[in-house]
A and B are shown apart, each in its own frame.
Chain A
Amino acid sequence: MSSGFWYMGGYARYVWPCIGFAGVVLAWNMWSARRYLAAAKVRAARALAMAASEAR
């Protein structure tokens, strides 16, 4: 990759932070959504286990 690409015509300090922040936002969205679903599955499993023990 040429140094001109990274230099971005003198605008590197504006362009690359934008690309980097976009990457962070997209990665955070995926990570937090997966974490949210995993937590919801744990809560649902607990609720089902409690309901089963109460039925017994």
Chain B
Amino acid sequence: MWTWFYKLASPPYVYGVAAALMPWFLGLAVLTIGYGLIAGLGFAPLDYQQGDAFRIIYVHVPSAIMSVTVYTVMAAASAVALIWRIKVGHAVAAASAPIGASLTLLALVTGSLWGKPMWGTYWAWDPRLTSELILLFLYVGVMSLRSAFEDPARGDRAAALLAVVGVVNVPIVHFSVVWWNSLHQGSTIVTLEGPKMAASMLWPLLSMLLGFMLFYGAVLCIRVQGEVLNRERQSAWVREAIK
């Protein structure tokens, strides 16, 4: 177990693993997203209240779940990098930030487009929407802070600190619909009574969610290779890696 953990601290090992895993992640992401879209848009039954507008769920929910998941990964990688001084942790955090920011933007835009026909407005200063917007600002802050320093190592440390502090917003995003009065509906997939959706609606959604996770894995693998190369460009192993 610990050998495996120590190996993850090795830049050449991580570079090789990322390069090997990427095509698998991408291939499986294409399959699962393809199935989810076809089944969700073409075959899932109408929602009895929202009609076809509910189909926005197939891109909104996966992007929203991934927005907090990617932030959690980024914060965990940052904590590992700060505590154990592992450079690969900074690489994973730096690679995750633009992916997470784009998925948060996607969640906000699709939520806004869903809100107009259901709530009568594109935007409300609702706890869920506001905390998700703060999440986007945190991503942008982490990316800006990393590039604001001439010394990349200082930029990495400052960005990692902000990422770790900002993780306090993740439970706020998740529980905002429970803690405060909210326009936004509560959880429909993970509840104590089980999912509140019919299986014919749920399976395409779970497939899309898995697809988004795999897609994040694929893009993370590519970006991590770039981040590792940027940090290790003076190392001897890089000559073999970029051949």
Contact = CB atoms under 8 A, between A and B. Distances in A.
Nearest to B42: A5
Contacts of B232: 44
B113 A18 contact: yes
A32 B229 contact: no
Given A8-B55, A40-B233, A48-B238, 13 more contacts: A14-B114, A15-B53, A18-B56, A21-B109, A21-B110, A22-B110, A25-B105, A33-B223, A37-B226, A39-B226, A43-B230, A44-B238, A44-B242
Chain B contact residues: over half helix, strand or loop, or mixed?
Answer: helix
18 contacts: A5-B41, A8-B55, A10-B52, A14-B56, A14-B113, A15-B52, A15-B53, A19-B41, A25-B102, A25-B105, A26-B33, A29-B98, A37-B222, A40-B225, A44-B230, A44-B232, A44-B233, A45-B242
Contact of B103 (A25, A33, A39): A25
A40 B106 contact: no
Chain A contact residues: over half helix, strand or loop, or mixed?
Answer: helix
A30 to B, nearest CB: 6
Contacts, number: 103
Range for the number of chain B residues in contact with chain A? 35 or more
Contact of B106 (A21, A43, A45): A21
Range for the number of chain A residues in contact with chain B? 20 to 34
Contacts of B233: 40, 43-44, 47-48
Nearest to A28: B102
Contacts of A17: 113
A36 B222 contact: yes
A11 B53 contact: yes
A37 B229 CA distance: 8
Interface string A3-17: 001001111001101
Interface string B212-230: 0001001100110111011
